[in-house]
Structure 1
């Protein structure tokens, strides 16, 4: 199915929809396309009750690209953290780790941070309450020459362990929410150590435990597979590289794969019978609220942000790299899921992410009205 829109240069642009996508979804894609100036492609995945839509517009690059579709891979940046949270829940279901395990259990003595108060646990890392800063000490200095392309590429596993030994948490663990790439990146590294010992890589572990069982064929941390070209202020960016802390932001995914995992989070009981029981348990556990922020009126599950509404909850998270922006969210009570991806860097205004959140909110509100009518 194809819809007509407008390209940036004023030429007609086709919106390509997967078979069965409802016509109303084209309006959502147009809205998102307008919020992503500089992108050569925008992709959308929507679940609204029994209806689902997969659409994309544009090409994978401004020059020499191919038509984008629901299977085009985008860098998803911090949205990778939601998969790391799901991996944590799966390993808890297996009995391999526990949420209250101190991180010192998985670290050599020389790499343990200088703590304030109680130990940092795996749950602290997954809820941004560890007290760790946003980035590891030393990353700003080492990544400065490649800050607008690949600042994490030269930050090695040894550098991460060295940084941990120098780290002084900004607050006592469990006392304050402070968003930390460092914390969730470290969580991914510790889960690998728990499963396979030192020197492992999160990519095969994530594939074995989460991605392959859910059938997410185009989701991985691999930078050497086909994907859209990312843009920053109109300039093509090199592919995002993370030598370590991959669980915080090295992921790639597609609109189709994101809708698959969002559907599973909305209705874990409806996943295929072949999905292992530990992953089924994790799909339920990962959405349990862990932290309440009364002043902000929000909660935090394992990585996911939760916005409680009078009759439903909105789970959401966003991500970005130097050339991509993405958003994903869902509401289990209304069976609404929404994912949007663009191959341009996040704007200072956050326009694309804000537009995607508002569309999720509107769909959930409509779902409530439809359910009650």
Structure 2
């Protein structure tokens, strides 16, 4: 279990900000009791604050800071969306390209109607299941540590040929790690040719070259062997998350400072002067609403969830691994953004993510008044 008696050293505030930001950090800390470290980054107009609380591990860790790396799980998908949009801006792919364009004929899934496009993968409307067929059985022995670690790109290709979509493409939103993981592999193939490599290392290189590097995100990558906080699940330390077959769905690590810089670029695509034009185009493209959800008013961009609010919209996404929980959100109209990271696994109540979302909503609402 978490060392409740770790003493003040385990809870020591490593950075102090304005009172309102300290209060936000304290609230996030209370919503993640199993975490030894919590980080917060906030943009409020021209004001930016990055804070961290605690240590990178319950025992033997170093003080957490703005550049401490956390596994961000499904927040990875927002970077994959940028890679899709950037590749499209180059003219190498189009959003409505069928996935069969990048696959050998025998590798495409069997469809009774329609065709799956890259846009379907990026909006969770492909009809593909959440996980590849057979994955649960393969991953069950390591379910509470890392079920993805021994699942290879070759396993993914074999599973794809056995896949039967659950709905016709474009007819239903169904969240799919399988779909976005496949999207990353297809973008890698688009860069190298249809018979080219599509390994995790190839995806990481492509993402770094076209998105992470140009945005100046020096603490963001997929490296499982790099320095990062220790993750915890019910108080037990977890091994570093490895996801070799589906890196585009959840392999990225990042810091509060880097993630806020990414949100800055999304709020103001014209701002960073060193960003290439193709990436500038991509930053605007990913925030364009693509899907409207019936009866809710909610929409989906390229990966990002969009909730309309009076006078503004909230873009948000969350992530989790066996040892980490993450949230990022922003409001383009108000210039507000918020990042929240904790080194403990998500809980069924979603307390940490819900707290972060409510904080984002409140800050954006205040900015609208």
1:49-64 aligned at under 5 Å gives the runs: 49-64=45-60
Q: Decide whether the 8 Å contact of 2:108 with 2:160 is kept in 1.
A: yes
Counterparts of 1:158-197 in structure 2, within 5 Å, are: 158-197=154-193
Counterpart-to-counterpart distance in 2, 1:29 and 1:297 = 30
Instruction: Show the counterpart of 2:124.
Output: 128
The answer as to 2:66 corresponding to 1:78 is no
Match of 1:293 in 2: 293
1:10 Cα deviation (Å)? 8.2
**Secondary structure, in 3 states, of the residue corresponding to 1:216?**
coil
Rounded to whole Å, the distance in 2 between the matches of 1:343 and 1:113 is 37
CA distance in 1, matches of 2:275, 2:6: 46
Aligned residue runs from structure 1 range 1-373, under 5 A? 8-9=4-5, 11-12=7-8, 13-17=11-15, 21-197=17-193, 198-200=196-198, 201-271=202-272, 273-369=273-369
Write the distance in 2 (CA, Å) between the matches of 1:365 and 1:52. 17
Q: Matched residues in 1 for 2:259 and 2:122: separation?
A: 20
Which deviations, in whole Å up to 9, do the C-alpha atoms of 1:67-98 show, x marking residues without a partner? 00000000000000000000000000000000
- 8 Å Cα contact 1:15/1:26 also seen in 2: no
The runs of at least 4 consecutive aligned structure 1 residues that moved more than 3 Å come to 7-13
Distance 2:335 2:362 in 1: 13
In structure 2, distance between residues paired with 1:294 and 1:159: 36
SS at match of 1:261: helix
Given that 2:6 and 2:58 are in contact with CA atoms closer than 8 Å, whether structure 1 keeps it comes out as no
Instruction: Count residues with an aligned counterpart.
Output: 360
2: distance between equivalents of 1:62 and 1:196? 43
> Could you report, residue by residue, the CA deviation over 1:230-289 in whole angstroms, capped at 9, with x for unpaired residues?
000000000000111100000100000000000100111111x21100000000001000
* Aligned equivalents of 1:11, 1:294: Cα separation in 2: 50
Secondary structure of 2:19's aligned partner = coil
Q: Secondary structure at 1:85's aligned position in 2? A: helix
How far apart are 1:150 and its partner, in Å? 1.0
Q: What are the ranges of 5 or more consecutive residues in structure 2 without an aligned counterpart?
A: none
Secondary structure of the residue aligned to 2:52 is: strand
Deviation at 1:143, TM superposition (A): 0.8
Q: Which runs of 5+ in 1 are unaligned?
A: 1-6
Partner of 1:3: none
- What's the TM-score, normalizing by structure 2? 0.96
Report the Cα offset of residue 120 of structure 1: 0.1
CA RMSD of aligned residues (A): 1.2
Q: Secondary structure at the match of 1:27?
A: helix
